[in-house]
Amino acid sequence: MMKTKSGDFVLPGDALGVTEEFIPSEWTYEDEGKIRSLVAGKVSVDNKNKKISIIPKTSSPSIIRNGVVVVGQVSDVRGQRALIKLDSIKDNSRGLVTSFSGGIHISQAQKGYVAKLTDAFRIGDLIEAKVTKIMGIDNVDLTTAEDELGVLKAMCTKCRHYMKQTNKNEVECPNCGNKERRNLSSKYEG
Ligand SMILES: [Zn+2]
């Protein structure tokens, strides 16, 4: 039984209760009817208002929530989804208290149609993306379908060097001359 009480120490992903009984509150998220902790910290149960929240161990952890822009690295591109390991929240030097990962569906990869997801991202690319939905620490939905979002640094699939921008959605490797397509951010570095 995953019954927690006020003062219990929990880690990211730990089950705290069920949504039939409680309302998920600060630093928690809902996962198929269960309420789980987003961060390491102490449980706070408000029985009167039926709320469960967490008092984070770190005094001011970075807040990941819908609408924030995050910086991450592409860890895989398979079929309709690019997998992203999140490094930090943009303009926030603290870094994330928890290691989040998420994904970008092909429909959210760029403005307009993209035939193949590998025309938008490749493994190793550094990207900026906006959080659209948090379903768990390993399940954050992201979008890059805005001009200022997308690939910040593209990694050559042949030799792993970072590439130079040559066109709106094209990069070239200064090391091996390989040319590839990407959904480049308007702030592409290089
Ligand atoms: Zn190369």
Cα 170 to averaged position of ligand 1 atoms, centre (Å): 14
Cα 160 to averaged position of ligand 1 atoms, centre (Å): 6
Residue 25 three-state SS: coil
At 21, list the tokens. 């009984």
Cα 172 to averaged position of ligand 1 atoms, centre (Å): 8
Cα 179 to averaged position of ligand 1 atoms, centre (Å): 8
Residue 16 three-state SS: strand
Each residue's pLDDT tens digit, 108-162:
999 888 999 999 999 999 999 999 988 777 889 999 999 999 999 999 999 999 9
* 15-18 and 34-37 strand pairing: antiparallel
Q: What residues does each domain of the chain span?
A: 9-56, 69-181
Domain 9-56 annotated CATH 3.30.70.260: no
Cα 181 to averaged position of ligand 1 atoms, centre (Å): 13
The answer to pTM > 0.85 is: no
Per DSSP, which regions of the chain are E strands? Answer: 9-10, 15-18, 23-24, 28-31, 34-37, 41-46, 51-56, 69-78, 81-89, 101-105, 126-134, 140-143, 150-153, 164-167, 170-172, 179-181
69-181 folds as OB fold (Dihydrolipoamide Acetyltransferase, E2P) (2.40.50)
Each residue's pLDDT tens digit, 49-100:
999 999 988 655 566 788 999 999 999 999 899 999 998 888 776 666 567 8
